Chain A
Amino acid sequence: MSAPNKSFDPVEVTTLSPEALAGFVQEAIAAFAAASNLEELKEARLAHTGDRSSLALANREVGALPPAAKADAGKRIGQARGEVNQALESRTAELEAARDAALLIEESVDVTTVMPATRGGRHPLTTIQEQVADVFIALGYRVAEGPEIEAEWLNFDALNIAPNHPARTMQDTFFVGNEDSGVVLRTHTSPVQIRSMLTQEPPIYVICPGRVFRTDELDATHSPVFHQVEALVIDKGITMADLKGTLDHFASAMFGEGIVTRLRPSYFPFTEPSAEVDLQCFVCRGASIDNPEAACRTCRSEGWIEWGGCGMVNPKVLIACGIDPEEFTGFAFGMGLERTLMFRHGITDMRDMVEGDVRFTRAFGLGV
């Protein structure tokens, strides 16, 4: 507090002396620093920058100074105020940051309490069909479909499966109505190939995934209702080399870069030559063969896994579909999708794919 002016000489106005002003500034800074929250800082601000503060009172006395001294004193007060305001600002920022930090700490939660929602899922037999189709769509193929209840002619006769073939009995095939009805539950997706050839001019590049039926009892490795995917290519100059190249590409796409297939001679009425398709073991890549140290459960240490059947389309099949075998040749192959899923995903029991337990489907999410 300044005493009433005794003189108009500025040097005699003690409140305006540099020392006094420095003192005011120091007091203010100390008071700001002492404020431990924004409320206390507000009080300190009012005390040190308000109308009744030392600096404000000192400023009032400037007016009484002679003009020569006014400028000088005004400048000093301005400086002092600047220092005080700067200190106030920085302390305000500090305390606001502290307040915000405290608030965020107070609002903290236990982030580990979050549980996943009960999720749905798509059956792996659905999504593996899509995965296979994706591989062949990328090559320019078309996905062909056909009915599950099928004309016997399309399921057997057109595929060079003679009327006396053992598969064409109630022992192996479901007949609709009676054994002479001409209608069966398709035993393979091959009638879709026939439908493709009957409705489309070559070149034909199709992939046919779907549900098929044979009269097996359900057990850990068989199901009377199962799924296949078949491919059919009819074009000029198609050879067995094209078949092998396509199978190798398919194997790589499904099981990893560099995985190949091998062919073993076999017999199917609808292909000639015919072969069994073995898949190189994608787990050990053959390293388990004759190597008990590195035994492989996936391929039983044989290095190869039986995967499907294939061959060059029998000219008789082409003829039955009105395609000239002198002009066009083709190949076809087919695999069981349950089996593929089983060895690829470690499914040990066929029944898991049949029963519809939500745990099974959910494990596969929206796709494989």
Chain B
Amino acid sequence: MKVPVSWLRDYVAIPESLSGRDVAELLVGVGFEVEGVETVGDVRGALVVGRVQSIEELTDFKKPIRFCQVEVGSSNGHVDTPGIRGIICGARNFAEGDLVIIALPGTTLPGDFTIGTRETYGRISDGMICSQRELGLGDDHDGIMILPAGSAAPGDDAFPILGLGDEVLDIAVTPDRGYALSIRGIAREVAIAQGIAFTDPADALPELPESNGTPVDVDSEDRAACDLIVLRTLENFNPAAPTPDFIKSRLAAVGVRSISFAVDVTNYVMFELGQPLHAFDADKITGKIRVRRAVAGEKLETLDHVVRELSTEDLLIADDSGALSLAGIMGGLTSEISETTTRVVIEAAHFDAVDSAKSSRRHKLSSEASRRFERGVDRMLPPVASARAAELLIQYGGATYVGLAGVETAPDLVHVSFDPEHPGRVAGRSYDVAATKATLVALGCHVDDAKSPWDVRVPTWRPDLSASIDLVEEVIRIDGYNNVPTRLPVAPKGAGYTAKQKLMRRSGLFLAGRGLAEVRNYPFMGQSEFDNLELASDATRRHALKLANPLSDEQPFMRTTLLPGLFAALTRNTSRGFNDAAIFEIASVSLPTPAQPATGITNPPRPSVNGRPSEGDIAQLEALLPAQPTYVAGVLASGAWSDAIELVVSLASELGVEVSVRAADVAPWHPGRCAQVVLGDRVIGTAGEIAPRVNENFGLPKRTVAFEVDLDALVLHANVTPSAPRIWTFPIAKEDIALVVAKNVAASDVLDTVRVAAGELLEDIRLFDVYEGAQVPEGHKSLAFALRFRAADRTLSAEEVASARQAGIEAAAAKFGASLR
């Protein structure tokens, strides 16, 4: 909301010593965000009011030119002609006797254009008669500016008359403070902040002439949505009447274009008081005006030339012929004020905030009016604001008053019980009771402090004040948040992080320690990514939730796997020259059940907020949500298939979980280089080399390797308090064996068999080499294991070791046909 300081001064006596910045500081102090302070116009030097004394028409030139003698006051005249200046002017929209704006020689206008005394068209021109555009006050270049007769005297300083040099505050208004979308509302806050008097422009109803005739009649068929509507009818309006300059310049300052006098008046009063108004051409109204809901199939072409299909929930201003305007949002074209309008109806109404918000949203149409109605408009304003508009139309537009029609449901005035100690209890300090009362009164409250607790009637322009805590906020706000003390509360003894939180952190540290860089990708994915992963058409990972309004139509799904995001990040890295990039992510995926459709249900439970929802309600809410387990996944651009598996197994080991791996064929992995990670009897992840086709689909480097594991499952089984091993110190006996087995035998199975058969003397067994080639038969491989034997209580004899070793070899021979190489 843009707020000219000069306009504020109409209602609050801001000391002359305060600059716009000072006023901004006052408002910041009571909680407004002032985004900037700007100065109107870039004029330096002298601008004075002049009266055109005589006009000499010069006709010897291509276009008609006027040489004017202008009265400029005794101190501003030419040395040879005291009080008078001769000025050349090309405009023709003025007459002798008009009051105009004169830039004296030496004055610099916007665009760094300095006026001088010069000879032109055979005359000496001794200044300039200015148009609005030349002064930087608007786009109006129909001619020079003419001030209303009698509004100033020749020689008067024109700066204050034009609002030049006025400072304009740009204030961000939070959605709870609709009243602050008006000069009236901001002026009140300035007065409170500075502790000075405020004159409420809405206090007195402007005096209008006696009614004379039959005004357009009105009714509200929906008193909940519109509990008050007022129509004021005027006639004999001069549609050519120009908008007075003070209105034009103020509208320009608040950022509104001048349209026509009647429309400008409705805007002017809206900014002044905060009440949106609408002006109709009374001659285009058929019968009586009614506030009603739209009927099915009804349409309305609004002022922005959009034909809108109306919903039966839309509130309309209509007449006997149909819809005239979308109530509180935007007028319709058919009843618009035109250049021939002589009978005007000013509509002022009070519309329900929620209704207005819904309609505005339904039609994606936000207007100055809808912004105000959504935030709540003072219920008492319509009669005052409409009268103010009528007054201006009469005064500056030649209109005569016909009369008023209106309907009203008596308002409920809001009373709040208020304990004056309450602000102190909230802030952690005490507030002076008298000052608290003064604050509430200054805000517009009626305070009955004879009662205990106080009975506070809140002002009609503050629908945001409905409970004691709301008044508490006002008291603390006006006193200043800086005056609230500080104290560090003492929490009960804490238990620190949960085991799960610690293990999640440890998982990230482990992978980063192994050289992988963590990334955090967006959780969105698209159909093409499911396809590029080469997932089977019925793969469960394709069952993903779909966003109603995705960021991009390419990626409307919530990810069921972390891999596509990692693939995209990896290709970004490799394309930037990091051919050895290794990255990982720890994040949740969403796995809807078959009963949770991708497109969602449409009638979810909505428990009341007037108390704790029941356990059943909470369970119903939870049932709406998919499972969202945390996964860990990694992708390595230059690793071996075994690296991906090893990272998973080592991570599990770091978390104290023993997992096993087994060959598998799972997309998007290479069917011959893919391992499933098994915990107990549950598959919790996959690791290995990515299939060549998938690498191609995603633009990944050849032989990219990857893993993805359900980290929640790992963490659930983590052994957070491992038992200490016994450290036996008797000598170790080391034996290496190489076993030749068929190629399709899993090394891990051979290892397990040897381990079991070698018995408890076997302290450790590791696979240290796999060989295929000339030294072993075709279709076979040699597995080399390092065995370490040790006993708890003695040095092992050569016979004991040999027999344990032999037991292992024989078991492998019996189970897998292994032969010792």
Contact = CB atoms under 8 A, between A and B. Distances in A.
Given A121-B517, A275-B481, A355-B569, A241 B512 contact: no
A154 B514 CA distance: 39
A240 B216 CA distance: 54
Nearest to B478: A265
B518 A176 contact: no
B496 interface: yes
A272 B357 CA distance: 23
B428 A242 contact: yes
A50 interface: no
A164 interface: yes
A264 interface: yes
A265 B481 contact: yes
A182 B472 CA distance: 34
Contacts of A356: 519-521, 566, 568-569, 572-573, 583
Given A140-B492, A245-B487, A357-B573, A122 B508 contact: yes
Contact of A246 (B484, B488, B492, B546): B488
Instruction: Place the interface of chain B in its size category.
Output: 35 or more
A164 B491 contact: no
A120 B517 contact: yes
A319 to B, nearest CB: 6
B425 A164 contact: no
B496 A137 contact: yes
A15 interface: no
Contact of A225 (B473, B488, B497, B522): B522
Interface in A307-340: 312, 314-316, 319-322, 329
A149 B427 contact: no
Interface stretch (A55-63, A90-98, A123-131): A123-131
Contacts of B515: 117-120
A193 B427 CA distance: 22
Contacts of B621: 151, 153-154, 182
A149 B628 contact: yes
A267 B582 contact: no
Given A265-B31, A320-B611, A357 B484 contact: no
Contacts of A148: 523, 588, 590, 628
Given A182-B601, A245-B488, A353-B520, A153 B607 contact: yes
A294 interface: no
A361 B486 CA distance: 37
B82 interface: no
Interface centre among A158, A205, A240, A316 (most CB of B within 10 A): A240
A133 interface: yes
A174 B581 contact: no
B523 A225 contact: yes
Given A164-B357, A315-B469, A180 B603 contact: yes
A145 B513 CA distance: 26
Interface in B455-491: 467, 469-470, 472-473, 476-477, 481-482, 484-491
B124 interface: no
B428 A274 contact: no
B612 A177 contact: no
B486 A120 contact: no
A277 B358 CA distance: 31
B338 interface: no
A240 B426 contact: yes
Contact of A267 (B174, B357, B358): B174
Interface of B is mostly: loop
Interface centre among A120, A140, A154, A361 (most CB of B within 10 A): A120
Given A123-B520, A264-B28, A137 B618 contact: no
B123 interface: no
A83 interface: no
Contacts of B521: 354, 356
A258 interface: no
A358 interface: yes
Contacts of A180: 600, 602-604
B578 A358 contact: yes
B558 A176 contact: yes
A244 B496 contact: no
B547 interface: yes
Nearest to B501: A143
B221 to A, nearest CB: 22
A240 B548 contact: no
Interface in A165-187: 166, 169-170, 174-183, 185
Given A175-B547, A176-B558, A356-B569, A149 B597 contact: no
Given A147-B625, A149-B626, A315-B467, A262 B573 contact: no
Contact of A182 (B428, B505, B576, B604): B604
B497 A143 contact: yes
B495 interface: yes
Given A176-B548, A272-B470, A358-B581, A319 B602 contact: no
B176 interface: yes
Contact of A177 (B467, B472, B599): B599
A300 B470 CA distance: 34
Contacts of B33: 264, 266, 276
Contacts of B476: 240, 273
B606 A153 contact: yes
B288 interface: no
A275 B30 CA distance: 11
A181 B604 CA distance: 6
Given A148-B590, A149-B558, A273-B476, 20 more contacts: A119-B512, A120-B513, A120-B514, A120-B518, A121-B517, A137-B496, A140-B494, A143-B498, A149-B628, A162-B354, A177-B547, A179-B548, A181-B548, A181-B602, A181-B624, A245-B488, A273-B426, A320-B612, A356-B519, A358-B582
CB-CB nearest 10 A-B residue pairs: A177-B600, A182-B604, A322-B612, A265-B31, A181-B600, A241-B428, A239-B428, A356-B569, A356-B519, A140-B491
Interface of A: 117-123, 125-126, 130, 133, 137, 139-143, 147-154, 157-158, 160, 162, 164, 166, 169-170, 174-183, 185, 198, 203, 205, 211, 215, 217, 224-225, 233, 235, 238-242, 244-246, 248-249, 262-267, 272-276, 312, 314-316, 319-322, 329, 353-359, 361-362, 365-366
Interface of B: 28, 30-33, 174-177, 353-354, 357-358, 361, 374, 425-429, 467, 469-470, 472-473, 476-477, 481-482, 484-498, 501, 505, 508-509, 511-523, 545-551, 558, 566, 568-569, 572-573, 576, 578, 580-583, 586-588, 590, 597-607, 609-613, 618, 621-622, 624-626, 628
15 contacts: A117-B515, A140-B490, A181-B604, A183-B624, A240-B476, A240-B481, A242-B487, A245-B489, A272-B469, A272-B470, A272-B472, A354-B520, A354-B522, A356-B573, A358-B581
